[in-house]
Amino acid sequence: MGSPMFSWTCAFALALMGLCQMAHASEFKEEKAPDFNEEVTESDFRMASDYLQHYYGLQGEPLRRRKRSDSSLISKVKDMQSFFGLNVTGSLDTETLEIMKEPRPAEFQTHKTTATTRVPSGIRTSFHTGKGQADNGVSYSIRKYTADLPTHTVDSEIESALKVWSQASPLRFVRSASRQADIMIEFASRAHGDSYPFDGPRGTLAHAFGPGAGIGGDTHFDDSERWTAGSEGFRLHLVAAHEFGHALGLKHSRNPASLMYPTYKNRNPQNLLSNEDVTKINALYGKKAGSPSSRPQWGSLFNPWLLGPRFPFLMQDKCSPSLSFNAVTSLGDTELFFKDRYMWIKYSQQCDVKEGPINNFMPKITSSIDAAYSIPRKSSAYLFKGSSFWTVRESQVKGRPKSIYRYGLPRWVEHIDAAAHINTTGRTLLFSQDLYWSYDENRRAMEDSSARSIGDDFPGISPPVNAAVYRDGFIHFFLGSEVYKYDYPQKRVADIDKANSWLG
């Protein structure tokens, strides 16, 4: 028989596993819960319950009181099956149990902050200034070793694992003797002082804390496992490379070819990163110097280390079916999406998406964005917040914010909910609450001084509108997590889709 499979876990996303799941008809009608396989042994049932509590937030309950047909248990099994691409039955079948038994590096969603704050000074200067002259170094230190390998072998394996990421990004990892390094590495067993005790041999192999203050970036390996530099036991180089991905801000991937896939798999040590891994690390830190790029530079590249303990909250999940946007617009060959103080930049005809806090791309803007629109012939976009707006040209914010009353809006309008420029007419529609105005960009004046009713002129659209954009002859209204494709001449909704589908 092959060796049993285990699982890795990391400091970002206990909630991640259930985010990108399909809605099922069972959510809308009553159905009988499927029976769990009665042949499942008591030890497997105990293991499955512990697994679901650890990784999917199943509420703890004494095992003797846990029923195998418990609806919450079945729901969590479905979440897990959906994430791993299994048949979503809610039953503990053989394939599901095998995945649960795989070795797993651990991923955490949040972490506790200690009194000491550590921020890589090199990253701060390099990415914040965009000069490209500062040291892009991230310091690391090995605080405690394992007895499984000689010290020099551990040093070599750790250095090699970090090199996996430095070869794909501008980051440079620097060994430090300090106890205040950006990434503190240690081997430990059971409870080891971070509120996330290890579980002994097999199970969770290691965990890492995402970028932030205090413990952020630190990476721990379960010393109860057998660590090796060869084919026996668990290869330190492979597990460490996965964990350092989490320490740098990457979440688990659903792609089995990705290094960030959440279960341990033997891989070619010379080619650990998939295209997806490279794309994601580039989205966070940019491309390695010398890499070809024809895209505009959006200010400072995304540097999560600067965000401190708020970073785990800021990392949005674009696969979430509940994802909504505050503003959507285009600029050149890119589409811009805004949510709170976060943004995505999607390049036309490509799946590549850059993302991060707005002021990492547009340093002059430190707030969220209420609405946005663009005028292609001017190569300009306009971003609204409260009673002010900014002008953006060629990815640069020009000048200071201006007053929205320049458009001729009445003073009682305190903010714009959404805006859309109609290329064919030269009009810009400005939406606020249940009303809208039509602004003539050529005459720089309102088409009509009086506001019009959204409900009257756009049947099928229920205000307030979160965001709007004109594309391919249709006005697309973003209402919560859905986007309505609106045929304005016909006064009807032509199609409805999920808002997150626009991120590819």
421 is in an annotated binding site: no
182 is in an annotated binding site: yes
Last residue of one domain, picked from the residues 101, 133, 164: 101
Does residue 12 surpass a pLDDT of 50? no
In a domain? residue 277: yes
Does residue 64 surpass a pLDDT of 80? no
Is residue 433 very low, low, confident or very high in pLDDT (cuts 50, 70, 90)?
Answer: very high
Give the phi and the psi of residue 175 in degrees, each rounded to 5: -70, 135
Looking at every residue in the chain, the average pLDDT score rounds to 78
Decide: 75 and 21 in contact? Cβ < 8 Å.
Answer: no
- Those residues with Cβ within 8 angstroms of residue 1's Cβ, 6 or more apart along the chain or in another chain: none
Last residue of one domain, picked from the residues 101, 130, 164: 101
Mean pLDDT score, 155-161: 95
336 and 463 part of one domain:
yes
In a domain? residue 432: yes
Strand runs labelled E in 113-248: 137-144, 172-175, 183-188, 204-208, 219-222, 227-228, 234-235
Query: What's the CATH number where 47 sits?
Result: 1.10.101.10
Q: For the residues of 40-87, what is the DSSP string, one character each?
A: S-HHHHHHHHHHHHHHH-PPP--GGG--TT-HHHHHHHHHHHHHTT--
Decide: 44 and 92 in contact? Cβ < 8 Å.
Answer: yes
Per-residue pLDDT at 306: 32
450 and 490 part of one domain:
yes
Mean pLDDT score, 276-287: 85
In a domain? residue 116: no
271 and 407 part of one domain:
no
Mean pLDDT score, 243-258: 87
Mean pLDDT score, 355-376: 89
480 is in an annotated binding site: no
* Domain encompassing residue 211: 121-285
Is 243 a catalytic site residue?
A: yes
Per-residue pLDDT at 121: 35
Residue 447: how many CA atoms within 13 Å on its side-chain side? 15
Does residue 18 surpass a pLDDT of 80? no
Q: CA–CA separation, 152 vs 145, rounded Å?
A: 10
In a domain? residue 383: yes
Per-residue pLDDT at 63: 54
225 is in an annotated binding site: yes
237 is in an annotated binding site: no
- What does the H/E/C string look like for 183-206? EEEEEECCCCCCCCCCCCCCCEEE
352 and 443 part of one domain:
yes
384 and 281 part of one domain:
no
92 and 174 part of one domain:
no
Does residue 19 surpass a pLDDT of 50? no
Last residue of one domain, picked from the residues 285, 302, 329: 285
Per-residue pLDDT at 37: 52
Sheet holding 342-347, edge to edge: 327-331, 334-339, 342-347, 353-357
In a domain? residue 148: yes
Q: CA–CA separation, 299 vs 389, rounded Å?
A: 19
Per-residue pLDDT at 201: 87
Query: What's the CATH number where 130 sits?
Result: 3.40.390.10
Paired tokens of 55: 């990784």
Decide: 55 and 12 in contact? Cβ < 8 Å.
Answer: no
Does residue 465 surpass a pLDDT of 70? yes
Does residue 264 surpass a pLDDT of 60? yes
Q: CA–CA separation, 211 vs 22, rounded Å?
A: 30
Per-residue pLDDT at 171: 92
- Please identify which of the residues 102, 186, 243, 355 carries the catalytic annotation: 243
130 and 254 part of one domain:
yes
In a domain? residue 300: no
40 and 74 part of one domain:
yes
In a domain? residue 263: yes
Tally of domains within the chain: 3
442 and 355 part of one domain:
yes
Does residue 395 surpass a pLDDT of 80? no
128 is in an annotated binding site: no
207 is in an annotated binding site: yes
Per-residue pLDDT at 62: 58
Strand runs labelled E in 89-136: 104-107
In a domain? residue 32: yes
79 and 134 part of one domain:
no
Which of 55-69, 82-96, 412-426 is predicted with the least confidence, judged by mean pLDDT? 55-69
92 and 201 part of one domain:
no
Paired tokens of 403: 């007053």
Output the CA angle 80-83-85, nearest 5 degrees.
105
246 is in an annotated binding site: yes
240 and 351 part of one domain:
no
Per-residue pLDDT at 283: 83
